Amino acid sequence: MKIYFSGSIRGGQQDTDLYAELIQELKQYGTVLTEHIGSKTIDTTMTDQEIHDRDVMWVKESDVVIAEVTVPSLGVGYEIGRAIDMKKPIICLYRTINGKSTSAMIRGCSELQCFEYSNISKAKEILKTQLKTK
């Protein structure tokens, strides 16, 4: 299974350790096309166009999209929208922080499976349950 993992890169650097742990977990279910999301450094050698084209190609190539949507991100929202158009199965994970939840546009979309989690163990349980049926 090819997995496209999506998370806020430029606005979500505080979550890179979490992303890295989720990516490590996802590797037991298949190939994670976007391991760089869990890196603390941002690749500045690619143009915006190259990043866009590569990521859209990876979404097309993927069997499932997993999006960590706690930190709002235009890029993650764009990827989710493209994945919906491509009829990809999409799992969104989010945490409620300081009483703030994720977007109603995400939680209210019937084409997404959205799950709230409070810690990494709960997120891993959700992934295990959801991915064993894919």
Residue 97, C-beta contacts closer than 8 angstroms, at least 6 positions apart: 70
DSSP 34-87: TGGGG-SS---SS-HHHHHHHHHHHHHH-SEEEEE-SS--HHHHHHHHHHHHTT
Annotated binding site for substrate: 4-10, 19, 79, 103-105
Pairwise CA distance, residues 103 & 60, whole Å = 24
Residue 131 Rama label (left phi>0; alpha psi -120 to 50; beta): alpha
Coil vs helix vs strand at 29: coil
Annotated binding site: 4-10, 19, 79, 103-105
